Amino acid sequence: MSKATAKESYRSGYVALIGRPNAGKSTLLNQVIGQKIAAVSDKPQTTRFKIQGVITRPEGQIVLVDTPGVHKPGYEMNRRMMAAVQDALMGVDLVCLIRDASISSGNGDKFVLELIQRSNKPALLLLNKIDKLKDKTALLPLIEWYRNEYEWSEVIPISALRGNVIDVLPNEMIKHLPPGEPLFGEDELTDQSVRTMVAEIVREKILQITGDEIPYVTAVVTEKWEETREDFTRIHCAIFVDRPSQKKIVIGKGASRVKEIGIQARRDIESLLGHRCHLELFVKVEKDWRDKAQLLDELGISE
């Protein structure tokens, strides 16, 4: 193919990952990008703002937009999260509905489908977590129901966790994007700052280590960043919780839990930075932080 022909056939655009909490959107994003840029846990509402990941191929460029799981807004934070979903749907060229195929349908699934129907955008249906299905024929009624509800460009069963079929997804997405120039440089992977990614790594470890004790009442802000040397960075992160009892849970007996959070987070941060770092964690009680506009702005959960 000549350079002129390749340029004419090049496609680029924005692709929204939409679904219920825990559908596997962030796991899918990290898998197809090939690097962890979004926090992942089995807790609802892990993703709180739009995260963009960039895939560049010779034939096109995809800007994946990971969105918060669709849920009923309660706090100001949740209202902003749902506004981010609506905003993503309005501004993308293609929608990917990520559906956990291992669980039965509920009202939440119908609500997500209605959002996509109202957007009237080209859409892929990605039936995730097929590794949990002993009998894959169980997918057939689900596929039939969704096909009757919307005109999907493709229906693709996947396992984001295992990496099944993930390699074919970028090509499927590019096929449905409009012709256009690249939107990002070919070496760019995300629009997230390193400071934001570090805060998200810490929050991910809190969710993993505290289990069901702190489901989604924590927030993390990178408050201080010192490049001491080219190969060493000092980082200070503040962990916000609602109540003093939650602070005790995060710190743990003899500070054992916050130490473990720091150890695990530091490993991932050093992998991200490519060099050693010193990580300091501070736990702060900020009552009703999920309703405080200024703190939500600091966290990147903007209007």
What are the tokens at 161?
A: 């966790």
Query: Per-residue pLDDT tens for 225-243?
Result: 998 888 999 999 999 888 8
Residue 219's nearest CA partner among 234, 208, 204, 229 is 204
pLDDT band at 202 (very low <50, low <70, confident <90, very high): very high
Task: Specify the pTM.
Answer: 0.70
More confident residue, 43 or 216: 216
Q: What is the mean pLDDT of residues 108-134?
A: 90
More confident residue, 18 or 145: 145
**DSSP at 33:** H
How are beta strands 51-57 and 60-66 bridged, if at all? antiparallel
Contacts of 236 (CB under 8 A, 6+ apart): 222, 223, 224, 225, 280, 282
pLDDT at 148: 95
Burial class from Cβ neighbours inside 10 Å (0-12, 13-18, 19+) for residue 167 reads exposed
pLDDT at 200: 85
Strand partners, 124: 96, 154
Residue 235's nearest CA partner among 272, 188, 206 is 272
Q: Is residue 64 scored above 90 in pLDDT?
A: no
- Residue 206 vs residues 39, 43, 84, 181, 246: alpha-carbon distances, Å: 11, 11, 24, 40, 12
- Residue 127 vs residues 40, 59, 132, 136, 272: alpha-carbon distances, Å: 18, 25, 12, 11, 30
Q: Is residue 45 scored above 50 in pLDDT?
A: no
pLDDT band at 145 (very low <50, low <70, confident <90, very high): very high
SS3 99: strand
